[in-house]
Amino acid sequence: MGSIPEREPEKRLPHPRKAAGAQITQSRHGEYNLNLLTRNNWRASLVPAAALKSS
């Protein structure tokens, strides 16, 4: 019962960096912007996301 739930999140979020940035963007703008931002700054997702939240 403890092995099943632990294996699910690991397989679902292979990239913690991308998942964190996507989650923040989705909460701020939406799905449409999430794809745009991730496509433009997929590597610096955390940098712009933090700046936008602070602004």
pLDDT 10s digits, 7-27: 554 555 555 555 555 555 555
Q: What is the predicted pLDDT for the residue at 35?
A: 63
> Which tokens in the block code for residue 42?
């997929």
Q: Give the percent of the chain with pLDDT over 90.
A: 0
Cα-Cα-Cα-Cα torsion 24, 15, 48, 27, nearest 10 degrees, comes to -10
Measure the CA–CA gap between 18 and 47, rounded to whole angstroms: 12
How much is the pTM? 0.14
Identify the pLDDT of residue 46.
59
Q: 3-state DSSP call for residue 31? A: helix
Let me know: does 4 contact 31? Beta carbons within 8 Å.
no
Does residue 51 register a pLDDT over 60?
Answer: yes
